Amino acid sequence: MKRNRYREQKKDKRRNFPEPEMWGLYHTISAWIAPRLEEFLKFYAPLATPGNLADEYGDERGNLEWRRILRKMKYSFECLSAYTGYRPEDDQAKIQEGLELFVKYFRCLWY
């Protein structure tokens, strides 16, 4: 018994995070991403419109579309970080859309 406890303590010391964070890793990742998307939306989104959106919609309208996309991404990650059980189907579709947009525009999240 002592041996197992010692082994677990030693394993915990090697990690930089608690083990329960691994049980629902998408909750942990979502909780980390959501506030950062919020800050990006506030401070950097007005300055950094992806080129394809600016080309398609023009500078001003492209930026409005970019912020709309970021809000959808943020909503998805907020829902996933606070996920506690069943969600209505319309939320599932919104969450999936936000995640797909995150994948599509992942490399555009820079300034």
Please state the pTM of the whole predicted model.
0.78
pLDDT value of position 27: 83
What's the chain's average pLDDT?
Answer: 84
Q: Residue 110: what pLDDT?
A: 83
Higher local confidence (pLDDT), 22 or 57: 57
Check pLDDT > 90 for residue 23: no
- How far is it, in rounded angstroms, from Cα 23 to Cα 11? 16
Domain definitions of the chain by residue range: 26-108
With a CB cutoff of 8 Å and minimum separation 6, the contacts of 73 are 37, 98, 99, 101, 102, 105
For the ranges 6-10, 30-34, 66-70, 72-76, the lowest mean pLDDT is seen at 6-10
- Looking at per-residue confidence, does 70 or 3 come out higher? 70
Calculate what percentage of the chain has a pLDDT beyond 70: 76
